[in-house]
Structures are given as C-alpha cells and as structure tokens.
Chains A and B, each alone.
Chain A
Amino acid sequence: MVYDDGSDPLTAPRTSGTEGRDGFPDALKVLVAGGFGVGKTTFVSTVSEIEPLSTEELLTTVSEATDSLEGIEGKSTTTVAMDFGRLTLDERHVLYLFGTPGQERFWFMWDELSDGALGAVVLADTRRLEDCFSAVDFFERRGIAFVVAVNEFDGSYRYEPEEVRAAVDLKPEVPVVLCDARVPGSGIQTLVTLVQYLLTQTPAPAPAPSHGAHS
C-alpha cells in the first residue's frame, strides 16, 4: 500500500498531522475570492514565493434545459482555471493560495477547492461592493472563516471599514482590513489578520458528557 490517505491507524499522524515525520510537509490552503477584476491574481502573485501558476479543472455542467422528448439532459464541459501561489512557512508547513476565477458560478462547483481550507480572503472593491456578496455567502454557508480585504483602487471612494461591514452585512467579529494587493507586505498582513482571527474563534466544543448533565 503506497497511498497514505491518513486512514491507516498505524501510519496516520497521531495528532493533527503537523509533525511531518514522514518527510512530507503539511499543505495548507487559503482561498482568495472576490468579484471580477478585484485583484485576486495580483494578491496571489505578490504574496507567492514562486511564479504564480495556474491549474485548471474540467467541470461538467448539466444545463437547465432538458429535452423532455428524449429525456436527455444537455451536458457541457467547462474549463475553470485557478491561480495559485505558494508560501513556505517553515520546514513543516507550506501555505497554498488559490485565487478563484471571476466567473464564480464555475468555481462554486469545485468542491475540492474549498474542502479543508484554513480560511479565505474576500477582496472587495468599494466601487462595486456588491460583487463580493456571493463569495461572502458561499463562505458563510460552508462555515469557512474569512476576512474581507478592501482593495483600494485609485480614484475610488474611501469607505471606512465599518461602512463596508454595514454594507455587506458582516457579522461583527469578521475582520475588515484595507489592503493593496500590489504590495506584498499588505497581502501578508491580510493573511496574518486571517490567522489571528482563526485563533480567536472558540474551538469546537468537546463532545458533551453522556451523564451528569444538570438540567
């Protein structure tokens, strides 16, 4: 058996897999989402230590229109490309950043991408705030923690973070930061904010004891 899918009790990491005793680093994932042209590719490339790469997936979409006579559903295949970058944190941890494509109706179908993500950065352009709503909805529904990074474009109206929070109707704890995706330090700072936010989240409650609960 050459695969280690973590399911073998003898070889599966005892704690959370951060030991890297087998020589494999722990690959972590953060998604960078937001509307069309908001700076996702820029964010991923300025933060990445490698030339940003792109990976594509073929998604089969079943079209809404069905041929009732034949009973055949129309199927078509769409290619969806994601930008990604890499950030080696230490010998054991490598962070991968995936910048989702602007055409969100496709990446929403790519379950593998959001599965197991540490968290997400939602980029928002104050000129078109509504463009980030669907990404915010998506992460809220999936229970993926995210920060909103307001990308300040030249000549755009300067909103205060609290104004953005109100406009997007964010929960009070969700961090809203200002960011310039063209500046590496600004992107890293946004990721720091995300991880600090994850650290403040209360851990999932331990399983309730089966006896002795007070009424």
Chain B
Amino acid sequence: MAPPALPQDGPWLDDAAGRLVRPYTVINGRTRPSAPLDLLSMVVPTGAVSVAHMGPEHTQALGLCGAGPTSVAEIAAQLRLPAVVTKVLLSDLVDCGALTAKAPTFRHHPTDDQSLLEAVLDGLRRRL
C-alpha cells in the first residue's frame, strides 16, 4: 500500500485541523520573528547551509527564495501563509545562515530624495 498522499493544493493544508494549524506548530506558536523582517525585506539564499534537518516547511520556504533577492511578501504569497508565519520561518533561515536579509529603506520624507524619484519616474516612463 502506498503511504497516504501528501496534500497537494497547499503547503500545510489539513482538512481536519485547518490550514493554519501546521505552520503554527512548525513555528511553535511564535508570532514574532527572531529578527525584524518587513514585508519588503529582500532575502537571498547564501547556498552555504543545508536546512534539511529543519523540516519540510523551512526547506520549501528556502526553495521559494530563488536565485536573486526576493521579497518576503512574494514568499508569503507563494507559501499561502500569513506574513507573520512566513517571517518566523524566514528568520529561522537567516539565523542558521541559509539566507541573507536586507530591510527596505524607509522613506518618511521621499521628497528629500530627488534622484530616487527621478529614477522611479524614468523607470515608469519606460513602461508607457
């Protein structure tokens, strides 16, 4: 007999217990990542560490990080998990050296940065 099939349409879909139970077990009910990650923090794999021992959730999260920098928001969307859960998983991966993370630069006064705004404007106009 084949073992029961793993759920296919979501990383932690569990019909009986509900979708969120498994990830919260994985992160041990932690709702605060060990280090600050923003939705727009960028993460990039270092390729230096094997995370197999951390379990399938961490492995899958790392796999979604791709080759280049990827935003936390995109990874959360692909995992189909709340941002807060994704951040805990990713911060574990940063802590063990599998990922490097960079926080976005906050801009409370974007008008101070004319060259940034010019670059954004040029980029947008190229798409018109």
Partner of B111 from the list A26, A56, A204 (CB cut-off 8 Å) is: A204
Q: Could you tell me if A189 and B128 are in contact, using CB atoms closer than 8 angstroms?
A: yes
Q: Could you tell me if B112 and A204 are in contact, using CB atoms closer than 8 angstroms?
A: yes
* In the assembled complex, A168 has its CB within 8 A of some CB on chain B: no
Q: Could you tell me if B112 and A89 are in contact, using CB atoms closer than 8 angstroms?
A: no
Query: Which size class do A's interface residues fall under?
Result: 35 or more
**Distance (whole angstroms) from the CB of A43 to the closest CB of chain B:** 14
Using CB atoms, name the residue of chain A closest to B42.
A24
**Distance (whole angstroms) from the CB of B9 to the closest CB of chain A:** 16
Chain B residue contacts of A96, Cβ below 8 A: 40, 71, 73
**Distance (whole angstroms) from the CB of A151 to the closest CB of chain B:** 19
Known interface pairs A16-B116, A199-B117. Does A55 touch B105 (Cβ–Cβ under 8 Å)? Answer: no
Please give me the 7 A-B residue pairs with the lowest Cβ-Cβ distance, nearest first.
Answer: A89-B123, A116-B106, A53-B77, A17-B105, A201-B111, A27-B40, A24-B102
How far apart are the CA atoms of A205 and B89 in the complex, in Å? Answer: 42
**Distance (whole angstroms) from the CB of B105 to the closest CB of chain A:** 4
What's the count of A-B pairs with C-beta under 8 Å? 153
Query: Which size class do B's interface residues fall under?
Result: 35 or more
A1-59, CB < 8 A from B: 2-6, 13, 16-18, 22-29, 50, 53-58
Chain A residue contacts of B82, Cβ below 8 A: 56-58, 79
Chain B residue contacts of A174, Cβ below 8 A: none
**Distance (whole angstroms) from the CB of B61 to the closest CB of chain A:** 14
Q: Which of B78, B103, B114 counts the most chain A CB atoms within 10 A?
A: B103
Using CB atoms, name the residue of chain B closest to A28.
B120
How far apart are the CA atoms of A195 and B31 in the complex, in Å? Answer: 36
Q: Which of B119, B122, B127 counts the most chain A CB atoms within 10 A?
A: B127
Using CB atoms, name the residue of chain B closest to A191.
B124
Q: Which of A25, A27, A88, A119 counts the most chain B CB atoms within 10 A?
A: A27
**Distance (whole angstroms) from the CB of A45 to the closest CB of chain B:** 13
B11-62, CB < 8 A from A: 31, 35-36, 38-42, 44
Chain B residue contacts of A88, Cβ below 8 A: 123
How far apart are the CA atoms of A187 and B116 in the complex, in Å? Answer: 20
Q: Could you tell me if B128 and A185 are in contact, using CB atoms closer than 8 angstroms?
A: yes
Q: Could you tell me if A2 and B94 are in contact, using CB atoms closer than 8 angstroms?
A: yes
How far apart are the CA atoms of A25 and B42 in the complex, in Å? Answer: 8
Q: Could you tell me if B104 and A53 are in contact, using CB atoms closer than 8 angstroms?
A: no
* In the assembled complex, A192 has its CB within 8 A of some CB on chain B: yes
Q: Could you tell me if B102 and A93 are in contact, using CB atoms closer than 8 angstroms?
A: no
How far apart are the CA atoms of A92 and B102 in the complex, in Å? Answer: 14
Q: Could you tell me if A95 and B120 are in contact, using CB atoms closer than 8 angstroms?
A: yes
How far apart are the CA atoms of A186 and B90 in the complex, in Å? Answer: 37
Q: Could you tell me if B44 and A118 are in contact, using CB atoms closer than 8 angstroms?
A: no
Q: Could you tell me if A58 and B117 are in contact, using CB atoms closer than 8 angstroms?
A: no
Q: Could you tell me if B76 and A55 are in contact, using CB atoms closer than 8 angstroms?
A: yes
Q: Could you tell me if A56 and B83 are in contact, using CB atoms closer than 8 angstroms?
A: yes
Contact mask A61-99 → B, CB, 8 Å, 1/0?
Answer: 000000000000000000100001011111011111000
Using CB atoms, name the residue of chain A closest to B127.
A188
**Distance (whole angstroms) from the CB of B31 to the closest CB of chain A:** 8
Q: Could you tell me if A53 and B73 are in contact, using CB atoms closer than 8 angstroms?
A: yes
How far apart are the CA atoms of A189 and B121 in the complex, in Å? Answer: 10
